[in-house]
């Protein structure tokens, strides 16, 4: 059974060109499937090129969806990506420290209103402009190995592996750029990633988004669209997250699991009888580099400023 509201179209976005028919794939350097539903919601996802050494009998109608930040890894993937760029002198540690403070302030004050979302989106647009996809993916691979891999929650990774072992597909769902999500999924041996999609022309980012930031309700919309394209029954699917921001996603599937939950999600999980898994240590678990959506956009802005400065230095 497929969910209602089947997407009007799903096409592979390869270097800025939409091609193919619903559910198609093309063998190009950038493989991002973009889907738009009847309500005009646009979502994008990218598969990895991995195949298990010994493939179990496939379970075609069930899958698992994992949030990334503080669910699959400690902290925010975009933050660690920024740290990696800073270590390569793409921007300064002062820029990074300023972002870290802004991130904490936004989370404590819960300032994710429309104005802040606008700031986040504008920052996201600026981040990618002029950069080549292969350069971003190469940097993401290096930075994952250096800074993200040690911060993967082993317990969450094992949960994902159980789904793979049962023949189900496993997707990451993140507000980070889909190329970064795809790198993380590849390194973890997962099926693919749903993420924020940026337009690409001639192998380089134009600075324009395709659709919206992958956050909150957008995650549920994207999962629903992917399910329609891939023939998944959401009632047989599972979703894992640490944040109450992902309640729409958790509510869209048949099995919701709160992983390292914040206080609001923990209360909701208890109310709904959802499973809770906590892999943090200490009497009071401290979250590392937890982003709000606006703050995630702000780190992108900090990265952008650094990248622009670095390009000017190199040009000079």
Which of 37, 59, 67, 278 is an active site residue? 67
* DSSP result, 86-134: HHTTSS-HHHHHHHHHHHHHHHHHT--SHHHHHHHHHHHHHHHTT-BHH
Does the active-site annotation cover 69?
A: yes
234 close to 224: Cβ distance less than 8 angstroms: yes
Closest by Cα among 296, 243, 292 to 82: 296
Measure Cα distances from 196 to 165, 178, 210, 285 in Å.
Answer: 28, 5, 8, 29
Which of 37, 49, 59, 69 is an active site residue? 69
Measure Cα distances from 195 to 66, 264, 313 in Å.
Answer: 12, 24, 31
Task: Compute how many other C-beta atoms are within 10 angstroms of the C-beta atom of residue 58.
Answer: 11
Between CA 226 and CA 229 the distance in angstroms is 5
Paired tokens of 50: 């991995």
Give the residue numbers annotated as catalytic, written as ranges: 67, 69
């Amino acid at each position: 059974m497929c969910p209602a509201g089947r997407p009007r179209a799903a096409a592979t976005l390869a270097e800025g060109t939409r091609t193919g028919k619903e559910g198609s794939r093309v063998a190009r350097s950038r493989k991002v499937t973009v889907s738009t539903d009847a309500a005009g919601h646009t979502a994008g996802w990218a598969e990895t090129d991995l195949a298990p050494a010994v493939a179990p009998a496939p379970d075609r109608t069930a899958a698992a969806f994992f949030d990334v930040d503080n669910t699959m890894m400690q902290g925010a993937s975009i933050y660690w990506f920024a740290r990696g760029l800073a270590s390569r002198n793409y921007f300064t540690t002062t820029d990074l420290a300023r972002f870290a403070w802004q991130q904490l302030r936004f989370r404590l004050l819960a300032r994710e209103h429309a104005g802040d979302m606008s700031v986040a989106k504008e920052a996201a647009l600026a981040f990618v402009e002029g950069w080549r996809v292969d350069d971003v993916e190469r940097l993401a691979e290096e930075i994952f190995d250096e800074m993200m891999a040690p911060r993967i929650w082993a317990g969450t990774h094992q949960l994902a592996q159980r789904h793979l072992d049962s023949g189900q597909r496993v997707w990451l769902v993140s507000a980070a750029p889909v190329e970064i999500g795809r790198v993380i999924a590849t390194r973890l041996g997962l099926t693919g990633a749903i993420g924020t999609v940026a337009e690409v022309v001639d192998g380089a980012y134009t600075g324009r988004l395709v659709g919206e930031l992958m956050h909150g309700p957008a995650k549920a919309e994207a999962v629903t669209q992917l399910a329609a394209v891939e023939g998944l029954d959401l009632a047989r699917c599972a979703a894992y997250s640490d944040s109450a921001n992902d309640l729409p996603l958790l509510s869209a599937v048949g099995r919701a699991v709160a992983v390292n939950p914040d206080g609001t999600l923990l209360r909701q999980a208890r109310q709904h009888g959802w499973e809770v898994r906590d892999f943090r240590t200490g009497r009071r678990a401290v979250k590392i580099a937890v982003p709000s959506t606006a703050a995630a956009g702000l780190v992108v802005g900090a990265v952008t400023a650094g990248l622009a400065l670095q390009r000017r230095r190199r040009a000079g």
